Structure 1
Amino acid sequence: MEALIERAAGLDVHQGSVVACVILGAAGRRPTKEVRSFGTMRQDLAALRAWLLEKGVTHVGMEGTGVYWQPVHAALEGAFTLIVGNASHMCNVPGRKTDVKDAEWIADLVRHGLVRASFVPPPEVRVLRELVRHRKALVGTMAAERNRTLKLLESAGIKLAGVMSSVFGVSGMLMLRALAEGTAAPAAMADLAKRRLRHKLDRLTLALDGHLAEHQRFLLSLHIRRLEELGRDLAEVEAAIGAAMRPFAAQQALLLTIPGVDALTAAAIIAEIGVDMAAFGTAQRLAAWAGLCPANHESAGKQKRRGTRKGNPYLKATLVTAAVCGARTKGSYLRDKFQRLRARMGAKKAAVAVAHKILVAAFDMLQRAVAFADLGADYLDRVDKYRTAKRLVRRLDALGYDVMLRAKAAA
């Protein structure tokens, strides 16, 4: 196979060491190899960068495993064409596996152009990505803490979840603190309810009439304190996300025009795909990268049905959530499309299909810098009037009516 790159390097990255192999030589000639090992401290990575520059390396490849590649990528960024490949796509044949062999194999793949580079966003987008993903982790931790709190209340016979729509709202938190103190009567705790919840004072009094043991009150106080800390952390992270989104204010404003997309959803989309759509080429490639299109599985000329392919789980979850919210926007094309697909394939598959449409729209909007143009709830009916009319006539015929269609006279 003909070599495409004359000066290539492969890095086998570990937590405490980096094995680098440099291959030098023009196509058609026997190349020379040189292997060195470096540490992963900042000074070691600076020495790795200086050595690669001394050798005149132009392309550097490494596997994107864990987080160990990230400081190496940051140390080499700007000086070389960096290729972070999928580890499963770069596996060598089994046998005789060493760190030196792995580095040589990666360098050989890079030299022949056989490594498909993974998408690594620019530094400012990477900052936003870390903040958005940390917020997602905090939200998950808060949900788990709330579930533990509800489980504790149920075990003590306190049935607040059956009376209140949100146990952790303003009224609910006041009652939880009173329960943790253990000094107020059920009626007094129910009287802490605010606004419309005061119409349920009798039911709240019955729901609060349980028995919290001493250790359960102790655990409840721990849950309350942890929830308050998570709430403060979440507010600080969201403020940091807002600051990191300032360079992308124009793109965020465009994405906010999509039904179901709010400020945090727009930030999550930009954090995962960036704002330069040239990195993906087409909307179809972006959808495949996100895991929002069916996987291909063909054997012996037969195409077998498969679910969606693996992709970016953070982006996929964000878009599916936006699709569910967009399906609740009255008078929108996304709502009409979701309702039609849900009747045929179920709500979950319909949400994934609508998420695909949102991603394709976001790609076009970011590429062309245009706002979202809603097609309207009647778009699919207008596309094929004959099919829509035939379906409605068939339904009326089943109800026992004779229908004769006549076009309206032009106004």
Structure 2
Amino acid sequence: METIVKNCAGIDVHKMMVMVTVRKEVPNEEVQVITREFPTFRKDRELMCQFLQQHQVDLVVMESTGIYWKSIYASIITRGLNPWVVNARHVKNVPGRKTDTLDSQWLAHLAHCGLIRPSFVPNPEQEQLRLLTRHRDKLVKLIAREKNRLHKTLDDSGIRLGGLISDINGKSGQRMVNALIDGESLRDIVNKADYRVKADKKQLMASMDEQLSPSHLIVLKSIRGHINFLSEQQRELEIQILNGIQPWKEAWQLLQTLPGVSEMSAATLIAEIGDDMEQFGGMKEIASWAGLCPGNNESAGKRKSGRIRKGNKMIKTILCEVANAAIKTKCQFKGKYQSLVIRKGHKRSLIAIAHKLIRVIYTLLKKRKPYIDPDTDYEGLMVRKNAPRWLNKLGEYGYLTLTLQTV
């Protein structure tokens, strides 16, 4: 095959070692292949970079093996080399011939012939923000699990408060549960209920008329303390995220004009895709990268399953959350969802809305313009909001009286 990159290298990445193969052309129009093994400690990574520079490598290719490739990638890019991280699915070796040496040689051979393409890798600042937003996502899921354990423990003790109020984790439910754990009387506990709770006080007292055992109290106090600890960590982390989002403040504010997008979800989107849409090529490409577009599976003229493929899990999750919030507002996404849910069901319709959202986000960030919903009358909203104030000012300065006299 035709040579595209004259001097290139393939790296098979592992936790404690990397196998590096350099493939380069020599003056006699022959190809020289050199393979060496390096440990993954900092000093050894520097020796690896010196080895690549010594052979004047133009392109370095490695697989995205877990998180082990990140330190290797950082070392290579700081030396001014050109590293590519490729999808392991796109460079799968021939079965039965898989060793560390052959894997690195195969990567170098593919790069030599120009048969691979790089994956999207965020810049170091964006990578730091991504670390914070992904850790926050873990904390949110941990808090949700702990709240479910609290609810399950209450049910196990015979307390059926969760059957009378819509959300036991809401403000009213939390006040009553905390008072119950602290051993307050039933009358005091019931008085902490919000006026919007539909159940009457007798029902609430009956649902909590149960003696908690010492073991249940120990578990409930432990879970409550853990929830408070995780919630405090989440608040501190969100402050750090909002401070770290300042370099992308314009894009962050643009994303918040979309229905269903909050401050944290906008920060998460920035951490995952950045604000430079040129690196994706187009809205179809970014939807495919996120794993939200329908799959292509056709053979002999028959269209088979269009199941979406695996993509960026974090962006898929956050876009589904945004879609779930957007379909509850008066916007085009609500109408789209209502037309799909009858035929497709809730989950598939939600993926379709997420697919539409990622394309809209691409357009917003590329054109640097806020979102304008085609189904919303912005002029009418502005008039309804400001008309009383306008009328008051017209009356204050006498214009309203003059207008009525003229009429």
TM-score bracket, normalised by the shorter chain, equals 0.7 to 0.9
Q: Shift of residue 26 of structure 1? A: 6.1
2:56 and 2:253 mapped to 1: Cα distance? 44
Q: Shift of residue 198 of structure 1? A: 9.8
1:175 and 1:52 mapped to 2: Cα distance? 65
**Residue of structure 2 in register with 1:159 after alignment:** 160
Q: Shift of residue 195 of structure 1? A: 5.2
**Residue of structure 2 in register with 1:318 after alignment:** 318
Q: Shift of residue 2 of structure 1? A: 1.0
Unmatched tracts of structure 1, length 5 or more: 379-411
Aligned length: 376
**Residue of structure 1 in register with 2:227 after alignment:** 227
1:97 and 1:334 mapped to 2: Cα distance? 48
1:28 and 1:349 mapped to 2: Cα distance? 58
Letter in 1 for 2:328: R
Q: Shift of residue 199 of structure 1? A: 7.4
SS in 2 for 1:77: helix
Preserved CA contact (<8 Å) 2:5 2:114: yes
- Is 1:350 paired with 2:353? no
2:370 and 2:93 mapped to 1: Cα distance? 47
1:351 and 1:377 mapped to 2: Cα distance? 21
Name the Cα RMSD after superposition.
2.0
**Residue of structure 2 in register with 1:143 after alignment:** 144
Preserved CA contact (<8 Å) 2:165 2:199: no
Preserved CA contact (<8 Å) 1:159 1:207: yes
1:276 and 1:95 mapped to 2: Cα distance? 41
- Is 1:92 paired with 2:93? yes
Q: Shift of residue 188 of structure 1? A: 3.0
Q: Shift of residue 175 of structure 1? A: 3.2
Q: How many percent of aligned residue pairs carry the same amino acid?
A: 37
Q: Shift of residue 216 of structure 1? A: 1.0
- Give a deviation string over 1:285-323, Cα, whole Å, max 9, x none: 111111111101111232213222222121112112212
Q: Shift of residue 39 of structure 1? A: 1.2
- Give a deviation string over 1:120-143, Cα, whole Å, max 9, x none: 111111111111111111111111
- Give a deviation string over 1:40-98, Cα, whole Å, max 9, x none: 11111122112211221110011101111011111111422211111122121123432
2:26 and 2:122 mapped to 1: Cα distance? 31
Preserved CA contact (<8 Å) 1:179 1:217: no
Preserved CA contact (<8 Å) 1:327 1:335: yes
**Residue of structure 1 in register with 2:362 after alignment:** 363
Preserved CA contact (<8 Å) 1:12 1:20: yes
**Residue of structure 1 in register with 2:17 after alignment:** 17
- Is 1:64 paired with 2:97? no
SS in 1 for 2:371: coil
Letter in 2 for 1:318: I
**Residue of structure 2 in register with 1:284 after alignment:** 284
What is the TM-score when the length of structure 1 is the normalising length? 0.86
- Give a deviation string over 1:218-274, Cα, whole Å, max 9, x none: 111110010001101111111111112111110011111111111111112111111
SS in 1 for 2:265: helix
Preserved CA contact (<8 Å) 2:165 2:198: no
Preserved CA contact (<8 Å) 2:20 2:35: yes
Letter in 2 for 1:293: C
Preserved CA contact (<8 Å) 2:10 2:107: yes
Q: 1:265 to 1:28 in 2, by over 3 A?
A: farther
1:126 and 1:357 mapped to 2: Cα distance? 26
**Residue of structure 2 in register with 1:185 after alignment:** 185
Q: Shift of residue 360 of structure 1? A: 0.8
**Residue of structure 2 in register with 1:122 after alignment:** 123
1:170 and 1:255 mapped to 2: Cα distance? 29
Q: Shift of residue 176 of structure 1? A: 2.9
What is the TM-score when the length of structure 2 is the normalising length? 0.87
Which stretch of the first structure deviates more once superposed, 338-347 or 290-299? 338-347
Preserved CA contact (<8 Å) 2:85 2:119: yes
**Residue of structure 1 in register with 2:82 after alignment:** 81
2:58 and 2:163 mapped to 1: Cα distance? 64
2:199 and 2:106 mapped to 1: Cα distance? 71
SS in 2 for 1:37: strand
Letter in 2 for 1:348: K
- Give a deviation string over 1:160-183, Cα, whole Å, max 9, x none: 2122233233443343333334x4
2:339 and 2:197 mapped to 1: Cα distance? 37
Which stretch of the first structure deviates more once superposed, 113-122 or 218-227? 113-122
Matches within 5 A, 1:229-268: 229-268=229-268
1:308 and 1:66 mapped to 2: Cα distance? 22
Which stretch of the first structure deviates more once superposed, 223-232 or 165-174? 165-174
Unmatched tracts of structure 2, length 5 or more: 378-407
Moved beyond 6 Å, runs of 4+: none
Q: Shift of residue 341 of structure 1? A: 2.1
Q: 1:16 to 1:120 in 2, by over 3 A?
A: same
2:239 and 2:43 mapped to 1: Cα distance? 34
2:115 and 2:199 mapped to 1: Cα distance? 68
Q: 1:128 to 1:27 in 2, by over 3 A?
A: farther
2:201 and 2:30 mapped to 1: Cα distance? 86
Q: 1:258 to 1:184 in 2, by over 3 A?
A: closer
Q: 1:324 to 1:28 in 2, by over 3 A?
A: farther
Preserved CA contact (<8 Å) 1:265 1:318: yes
**Residue of structure 1 in register with 2:298 after alignment:** 298
Letter in 1 for 2:42: R
Preserved CA contact (<8 Å) 1:293 1:308: yes
Preserved CA contact (<8 Å) 1:62 1:84: yes
**Residue of structure 2 in register with 1:204 after alignment:** 204
1:300 and 1:360 mapped to 2: Cα distance? 31
Which stretch of the first structure deviates more once superposed, 141-150 or 349-358? 349-358
Q: Shift of residue 24 of structure 1? A: 1.3
